[in-house]
């Protein structure tokens, strides 16, 4: 079989804060295609990666994805704060998950144009089945760019507990907006569950994101056991065929401490800053 024809042209990643049917996607795609067909080389300012971040008003260009920078690790504390230093002692916070009233998704990565994208988190964060921690005010404009990772030390009365993590931006008006989120259904390891059951360590990758978080705004971490209907609710029965005729609630307890729950956030070095 003959090898397929490959035109040896530079390849670029172009991304922006769009939902699946945003009109701007077509506009950008057509413009990039015309550049390639016309043989227009990317300028020095438009390297292999070109992004317009969430909350940003201009395009940024980098040589690679994720862009260079550093990792910021923040630790949840018992008082609801999110800080660079970990707690000095171990503490627990908990919540009850009821699949009969599943935790709503409130935006995120979905093909449903009516529910996807960047959404106000007020209703979701006021629920008693969503844990929330908030950082101090940022001292400079900050570009979050890359894969956010949340690690949760959790015990549950449900052997197949769901874990949903979400990073948000709290703006100057006190409104919370989603930046990135991820989901994990922790597999049953055969351990007997209950209040005295051991906590297991789970890591959830929230996927690649790029968000411009402004000076004076805050970062916020959500931890819950659902984002319905983006992820099907966990009936609590361990039924692999997802029979929702029976729904069993579960109690979760999250450990905070020196080696407990944390979120790792990639902070990009923006050219010219």
Residue count of the chain, please give it.
Answer: 273
Do 76 and 211 sit in the same domain of this protein? yes
SS3 state of residue 26 = helix
Q: Report yes or no on 1 lying in a domain.
A: no
Q: What is the pTM of this model?
A: 0.86
Token reading at 246: 């029976």
Q: Is the same domain home to 120 and 255?
A: yes
Task: Please indicate, yes or no, whether residues 57 and 74 belong to a single structural domain of this protein.
Answer: no
Q: Which of 45, 62, 79 finishes a domain?
A: 62
The three-state secondary structure class of 25 is: helix
> Is the model more confident about 43 or about 198?
198
Residue 104 and residue 57 share a domain = no
On whether residue 261 sits in a domain, the answer given is: yes
Tell me: the pLDDT tens digits for 90-101? 999 999 999 999
Q: Is 36 helix (H, G, I), strand (E, B) or coil?
A: helix
Tokens representing 39? 């043989």
Structural domain including 55 reads 13-62
Give residue-wise pLDDT tens across range 171-225.
Answer: 999 999 999 999 998 865 544 444 446 788 899 999 899 999 999 999 999 999 9
183 found inside a domain: yes
Distance (Å, rounded) from C-alpha 113 to C-alpha 124? 19
């Amino acid at each position: 079989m003959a090898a397929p024809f490959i035109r040896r042209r530079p390849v670029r990643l172009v991304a922006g804060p769009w939902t699946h049917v945003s009109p701007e996607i077509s506009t950008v795609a057509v413009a990039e295609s015309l550049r390639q067909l016309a043989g227009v080389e990317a300028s020095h300012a438009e390297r292999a990666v070109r992004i317009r971040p969430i909350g940003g008003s201009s395009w940024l260009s980098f040589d690679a994805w994720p862009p260079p920078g550093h990792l910021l690790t923040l630790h949840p504390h018992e008082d609801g704060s999110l800080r660079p230093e970990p707690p000095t002692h171990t503490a627990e916070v908990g919540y009850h998950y009821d699949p009969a009233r599943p935790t709503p998704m409130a935006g995120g990565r979905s093909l449903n144009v009516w529910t996807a994208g960047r959404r106000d988190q007020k209703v979701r964060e006021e629920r008693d089945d969503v844990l929330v921690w908030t950082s101090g005010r940022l001292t400079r404009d900050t570009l979050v760019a890359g894969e956010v990772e949340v690690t949760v030390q959790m015990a549950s009365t449900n052997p197949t507990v769901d874990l949903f993590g979400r990073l948000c931006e709290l703006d100057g008006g006190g409104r919370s907006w989603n930046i990135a989120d991820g989901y994990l259904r922790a597999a049953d390891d055969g351990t007997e569950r209950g209040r005295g059951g051991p906590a297991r360590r789970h890591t959830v990758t929230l996927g690649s994101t790029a968000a411009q978080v402004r000076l004076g705004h805050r970062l916020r971490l959500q931890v819950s056991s659902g984002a319905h209907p983006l992820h099907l609710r966990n009936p609590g029965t361990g039924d692999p065929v997802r029979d929702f005729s029976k729904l069993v609630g579960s109690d979760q307890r999250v450990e905070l401490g020196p080696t407990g729950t944390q979120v790792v956030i990639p902070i990009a070095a923006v050219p010219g800053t």
